[in-house]
Structure formats: C-alpha cells, structure tokens
Structure 1
C-alpha cells in the first residue's frame, strides 16, 4: 500500500528541510525555545531571525503548537 502524503502544515516539511538545510525537529526546538509566545510572535521570530518565508514559518509553528497542545 502506498504511503499517504502529508496533509496540512506537514506537507511543507520536505521543502523546508531542502531549502533551509535543517531537519524539522531543529526548527521545532527553536520554536519551543521561545515559549511562552503567541503564534504570530513565533512566526515573526522564524522569519526575522532565521530567514524563513511566512508560509514555511507558519507551518512549523502551527504544527509544533498543535503537537504540544495534544
């Protein structure tokens, strides 16, 4: 049976890793290191400090916050 393709924010992960050269686990650790912070503050942090585009930063933050909420 073929592997299911990623949905939602995780669908961006392969291109994020390829473009920025770090595994998603490292990006998530950076986000968690900024807690407590609001979603928008975390997105701005990734954009301003690490040069991620808005969509990529938003995907990492959304997925990380969803994981930590569960």
Structure 2
C-alpha cells in the first residue's frame, strides 16, 4: 500500500496538473529567483507566475525546507 503524502508535497500533483510544469522546474525557478524569504517568494510566484496562494506557499515551504536540510551537517 502506498504511503499517504502529507504537508506541502500533497499539493504537488495538482500544481503540476494546473500549471503544466514539473515540481523540479518550480524549485529551480524559486532557487534562481534571487529571493530568499518565504513571504517574498510566495508573492513573487503569485505575481510573476499567477500561482494561487496555497500552491505558491506549498512550493516555497517544501523548497526552503529541502535547502535547510541539505545545509545541515
């Protein structure tokens, strides 16, 4: 039985379906934006890429958490 996805990643299938880009591409855009704060990244995704607030928030939260985890010893 497949494990149930929770948290920000639970939004990923609907983000890919609605906006037509894979999650990896969204994460590259976020990381290449030159922005670093959660709120400014969410606002940028909403304004520049017309994402809804929940989708933008999920992408940013997951990406920043990934980056923090990668930087941990």
Q: Same fold (TM over 0.5)?
A: yes
Unaligned residue ranges in structure 2 (runs of 5+): none
Report the number of matched residues. Answer: 69
Quote the residue 2:29 is aligned against: 30
TM-score, length of structure 2 as denominator length: 0.90
> SS at 2:33's partner residue?
coil
Q: RMSD in angstroms over aligned alpha carbons?
A: 0.8
> Hey, what's the Cα distance between the residues in 2 that align with 1:12 and 1:36?
22
Unaligned residue ranges in structure 1 (runs of 5+): none
> Hey, what's the Cα distance between the residues in 2 that align with 1:37 and 1:49?
16
Quote the residue 2:39 is aligned against: 40
> Hey, what's the Cα distance between the residues in 2 that align with 1:29 and 1:20?
15
Answer yes or no: is 1:5 the counterpart of 2:4.
Answer: yes
